Amino acid sequence: MFNPLTQPLRYAGLRLDRLSAQRKDRPWLEQQLQQPNSRLVPLWQGRNLLHPERPEALHFSRAEADFLLEHSQEILFLGQQQHAWFALDLSHLSEQQVQQLLPQGQFTDIRKVGPLLPAEEAAILACARGLLHWHQQHQFCSLCGHPSRADQGGHLRRCSNSACGKEHFPRLDPAVIMLVEHIPSDGGPRLALLGRSPHFPPGTYSTLAGFVETGESLEEAVAREVWEEAGVRLSRADYRASQPWPFPASIMLGFRGLAASLAIQVDQDELEDARWFSAEQLQGFGEWGDPNSAYSLPRKDSISRWLIDEWIAENLPR
């Protein structure tokens, strides 16, 4: 049986100990940063540093890359495993400046190589990206408008106005994502409901998804999104697994939904198309972005793909 704790989805499975008690201790953090073998993970404008030719993340020991610290706008403590790991934000530098500083790598969207990186490294890079994004978007106190400053190794921001002093914690946007299936009462083949957004590469179909709104349960968000986007009513929604998705700030909550009917009514503002597919049809789909495939599946690093692959494996004729 699938166990998301022992088989984490891509970008989950961070093995660093986050040390939430120790990171409140500034001298301790400073001491960790001073260690010559502390690991430094540079980021620039939401991109991670990768090898220009191979799917390989570039990070450095403090001894190798001491010079990076003076250029870093924000230094965040990610956690510890043998060494302490820190994310460094170089976003304020120009592209030319970061190239001069780190000529051995290229700042790249981690999703381009996400499925190819070692899982643990992908988790570290994604966590660094998500946390830094939050800092960049929350420079000012939302209560009084004064500048806020990172504290506790970057796991909170505190308002600099002493009369306010409000603490702000990293935010996540919960999104539900669901594979909806139809189980015919006559024992015929089961079908999965997939849709395509106009932003997808041509021919790509994916599970439906949407943000959870205030005042609804996750199951209700699943049912509402499927109804709004495809006009299909659900009779059940069962939680399957979740995935960190810091692109920029989501947690994807994966569900399996059971359709109460087959008729589809696509909301053209959200989707270009939605259809029912059999497991055999889906098995014949190509990979995301493959120009030679008439139909293709979502990217391999996504929970959407995991939900689809799981369903195909369950439903292929034996």
Q: Does 161 bind Zn ion (CB under 5 A)?
A: yes
Stretch that binds Zn ion, among 159-167, 168-176, 247-255, 307-315 (CB under 5 A): 159-167
Q: Is residue 48 a contact partner of residue 110, using CB atoms and an 8 Å limit?
A: yes
Q: Which of 47, 45, 96, 53 is nearest to 73 (CA)?
A: 45
Which residues, numbered 216-275, are part of the site for Zn ion (CB under 5 A)? none
Q: Does 156 bind Zn ion (CB under 5 A)?
A: no
Distance CA 32, CA 83 (A): 8
- The nearer residue to Zn ion, 119 or 144, going by C-beta atoms, is 144
Q: How far is the CB of 144 from Zn ion (least distance, A)?
A: 3
Q: How far is CA 29 from CA 41, 72, 78, 88, in A?
A: 16, 16, 11, 14
- The nearer residue to Zn ion, 160 or 281, going by C-beta atoms, is 160
Distance CA 277, CA 297 (A): 12
Q: Is residue 168 a contact partner of residue 148, using CB atoms and an 8 Å limit?
A: yes
Stretch that binds Zn ion, among 53-61, 156-164, 195-203, 309-317 (CB under 5 A): 156-164
The residue type found at 154 is G
Distance CA 124, CA 86 (A): 10
- The nearer residue to Zn ion, 138 or 224, going by C-beta atoms, is 138
Q: Does 168 bind Zn ion (CB under 5 A)?
A: no
Q: Which of 176, 188, 318 is nearest to 256 (CA)?
A: 176
Q: Does 157 bind Zn ion (CB under 5 A)?
A: no
Distance CA 182, CA 95 (A): 50
Q: Which of 12, 88, 128, 159 forms a contact with Zn ion (CB under 5 A)? A: 159
Q: Which of 92, 111, 166, 224 forms a contact with Zn ion (CB under 5 A)? A: 166
Site mask for Zn ion (CB under 5 A), range 125-154, x = bound: ----------------x-xx-x--------
Q: How far is the CB of 152 from Zn ion (least distance, A)?
A: 17
Residues that bind Zn ion (CB under 5 A): 141, 143-144, 146, 159, 161, 164, 166
